[in-house]
């Protein structure tokens, strides 16, 4: 949702589900927040509540999922929820959670998209800041590559390559919007290989993983009896993950991301490199008059001029 006003949800909403790694039942409540709050998790541990802002500075692990934390308190697997919030343009939100990870639900972002739609959105009378890419930035880690170049919109082009007959080479390019996200990306599920799932469970991880919340493949076939939701569901999910990971930069992005074999680790490296090279981007903010004008007009009317109308 490309709007120049900050937003939050219109009313509180709740969702519950199993944690992918702990197998625990986890309850989560999304609450409206004032302008300038950002996305904030409130992890409840007994009588104590620890507040963790969803920003790159609080990322503590990217091996199995994107994990944010403060001290010894963590919230894992935040990327699917953050992806939905970014795609729908939700800037400010309080998230109360009573477990160590965001519930995996069905392995996709569709349940989160649904609760955002059900909660509705409320616009603040305060402008958003957009991070507009001015110079290309790249990160290379072995075969993994990710870069971002200037663009008037937020676009992701992603390539994956697996030596597996059900995956092989897949590529997709998406101009990110709430409608495209809901239709083409949100339903795409996370995936894993049977051999890895077995070893993870032996190590006490992925205890909540099942065919109900992930695509699982053995050496030759997809084990889920219902099959795939999209022929290229694997690369669609990678794009979904990238949207969530990149949202941790703290601003909606105007740029074209190009990724090859990328994952949470290198996505985070790109965010860190961007923050370390402020000459490669510019923050765009609109005046109060622009905001008032936007409130009287359809957001689409501003979409084509959004990136460069302020310089």
Distance CA 274, CA 60 (A): 18
- What integer is the mean pLDDT of 166-190? 97
Between 299 and 26, whose confidence is greater?
Answer: 26
| Residues 97, 243, 121: CA angle, nearest 5 degrees | 60
Check if 264 is active-site. yes
Domain positions in the chain are 5-128, 130-284
For the cut 50, the answer to whether the pLDDT of residue 258 exceeds it is yes
- What integer is the mean pLDDT of 125-149? 96
pLDDT at residue 198, rounded to an integer:
77
The arrangement of secondary structure in 5-128, i.e. its CATH architecture, is: 2-Layer Sandwich (3.30)
CB atoms within 10 A of CB 224: 18
Q: Which residues contact 276 (CB under 8 A, 6 or more apart)?
A: none
| Mean confidence (pLDDT) of the chain | 92
Q: Do domains 5-128 and 130-284 have the same CATH topology?
A: no
Percent of residues, the chain, with pLDDT higher than 90: 83
Helix (H, G, I), strand (E, B) or coil at 167: coil
pLDDT at residue 309, rounded to an integer:
34
- What integer is the mean pLDDT of 300-306? 41
217 backbone dihedrals φ, ψ, rounded to 5°: -120, 140
For the cut 50, the answer to whether the pLDDT of residue 281 exceeds it is yes
Distance CA 179, CA 82 (A): 16
Q: Which pLDDT band holds residue 205 (cuts at 50, 70, 90)?
A: confident
CATH value of 130-284 in 3.30.1700.10, 1.10.3720.10, 2.60.15.10, 3.40.50.970 = 3.30.1700.10
Q: Give the active site residue among 94, 124, 237, 264.
A: 264
8 Å CB contact between 28 and 14: yes
- What integer is the mean pLDDT of 122-134? 95
């Amino acid at each position: 949702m490309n709007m120049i006003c900050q937003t939050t949800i219109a009313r509180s909403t709740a969702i519950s589900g199993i944690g992918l790694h702990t197998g625990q039942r986890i309850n989560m409540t999304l609450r409206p927040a004032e302008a300038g709050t950002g996305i904030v998790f409130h992890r409840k541990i007994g009588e104590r509540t620890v507040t963790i802002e969803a920003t790159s500075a609080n990322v503590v692990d990217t091996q199995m999922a994107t994990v944010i934390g403060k001290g010894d308190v963590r919230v894992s697997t935040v990327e699917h929820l953050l992806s939905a919030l970014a795609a729908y343009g939700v800037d400010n939100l309080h998230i109360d959670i009573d477990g160590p990870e965001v519930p995996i639900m069905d392995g996709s972002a569709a349940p989160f998209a649904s609760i955002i739609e059900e909660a509705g959105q409320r616009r603040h009378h305060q402008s958003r800041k957009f991070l507009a890419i001015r110079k290309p930035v790249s990160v290379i880690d072995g075969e993994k590559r990710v870069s971002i170049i200037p663009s008037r919109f937020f676009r992701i082009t992603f390539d994956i390559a697996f030596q597996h007959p059900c995956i092989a080479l897949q590529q997709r390019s998406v101009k990110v919007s709430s409608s495209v996200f809901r239709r083409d990306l949100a339903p795409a599920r996370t995936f894993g290989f049977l051999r890895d799932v077995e070893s993870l469970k032996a190590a006490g991880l992925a205890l909540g993983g099942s065919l109900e919340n992930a695509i699982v493949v053995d050496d030759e076939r997809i084990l889920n009896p219902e099959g795939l939701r999209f022929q290229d569901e694997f690369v669609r999910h990678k794009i979904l993950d990238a949207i969530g990971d990149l949202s941790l930069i703290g601003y909606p992005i105007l740029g074209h991301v190009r990724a090859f074999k990328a994952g949470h680790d290198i996505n985070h490296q790109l965010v860190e490199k961007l923050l370390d090279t402020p000459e490669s981007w510019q923050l765009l903010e609109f005046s109060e008059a622009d905001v008032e004008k936007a409130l009287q007009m359809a957001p689409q009317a501003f979409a084509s001029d959004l990136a460069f109308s302020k310089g």
